[in-house]
Structure 1
Amino acid sequence: MNRTDVVAALCLPDSARVDQRVPKKLLLENGAPTASDKRLITDAIEEIQWLAALKPNTIGVPSYRDAQREYLEVAVLGLTLRGTVKPASLARLAELVHRAVPYPVLLLVQGQALTLSLAHKRWAQNEAGKVVLDGDPVLASLPHATEDAAAVEDAIAPEIERAFVQSLSIARQPQTTLHALYQGWMERVWAWQAARLTGTYQADTTPEQAAARWQALADCERLENEIGRLRAQATKEKQLARQVELNLTLKRIQAELAAARRQL
């Protein structure tokens, strides 16, 4: 699965296509607050492309405005990486792009795998006219290459991947506003993240179900981190009583994780 496949699945209308290269210096000037960020952008990014501008007059979906945010446009950007980029660096690059662009962005990062990244935007509380990220970016990598992926049978994974990509079509997202459309993509990524754990991709949910899935995913991540911490602590512990205590705690957290996964 590559960026061409996903762009085709999006079914972007010709009226929305831009297909222009974006100079990397614009990101360096507007999206690199530290020297290490500048080095990361310089070393890791091969090319940035502005693929499409989704506006009311290009896709027929109304803009959105409330007290927290204004969505006049959604940008579809492509980022081509240079060489191997560590997951933490990839996540940082995605965050820098989202911060640099004043509109919500559907970011397609092509490296060893293809990664989709989304992040809502809102007005800054202390600086009039400035927009900031509303929460951390959410990412989906195709193919997924995490330890959790081992829980999904190889024969099922391609089916999940196809279902996810097919569900990204603009026509399959809410059409009431650009915010609703973007939220639809966000929920597709949550469904993909859930499918990594369940082996089943289920995109169509109510807003309440989507919110519950998001919470369950957050709980799973928190519990998985706690399990990793406890296991590392248990391997170093010398006292038998403390080892027993850690193992009992580990079993309790594992049961909580199993319960959270059932909510996906």
Structure 2
Amino acid sequence: MKQDGKHPSGAKSRKKKYKKELRALQIKLVTLQRHLIQHDLQIAILFEGRDGAGKDGTIKRIIEHLSPRETRVVALGKPSDRDNASWYFQRYASHLPSRQEMVLFNRSWYNRAGVERVMGFCTDHEYREFMDAVVPFETMLVRSGIQIIKYYLDIDREEQRQRLKARKVDPLKQWKVSPVDKVALKHWDEYSVARNEMLARSHSEIAPWYVVCADDKKTARLNVIRHILATVECPESDQQAEAPDPDIVFPYDGAHLLSGKIAP
């Protein structure tokens, strides 16, 4: 007999439970947004992670039932010549939330510490300049009234391999395939080094990093939403908020690199 985890009825039951939990959390997100609007809050949520880590799917579930007037997703493409001739943070600063807004960055200014660094799209000087400036930049934003929540979605090498492979054959995911995807696995170790330095140098008390174990997409999505609900102060949702699983979403600590809690 098949184990419940592999039996069709077991999979159906888990899917039903996931949808039920997701809906309940999305209702709380709507309550949170109402609080955000009433109190003129400004929320910027950053999503970073390797290609295939699940950023798109997580963001989709967060915004699915929120008001599009007060919710924006920012996913910038290749910088223009004007962008390259401007202050690095300028192209991102124009997308920051105003009062009553929540903005979700699908990759952010940390592109410079990840893709640009590994793929050679920036110079060593530009990289060092960014790393020196990013914490003061975020400190300035927080002191101006913007709450920043930073997530790094972490997956292991085999999980990335399977997801990138699936993209190539799924006609609904063809838009996700990029030249950077094609060499992501080849540069796995370089991305790990870049990630480790990014987390270590830009994790701060005022704008900390939260690592999300995202090998299981659905579990990651639910726990990111729980974490958002727990992190943004909202009395209406706080009373019923369920804490995220600390093994799924947790503050960055260098010790996690040694313990294996963050994929090597």
The reply to whether TM is greater than 0.5 is: no
Higher relative contact order (CA 8 A, sep 6+): 2
Structure ID, larger Rg: 1
TM-score (norm: length of structure 1): 0.32
- Structure with the largest fraction of strand: 1
TM-score (norm: length of structure 2): 0.32
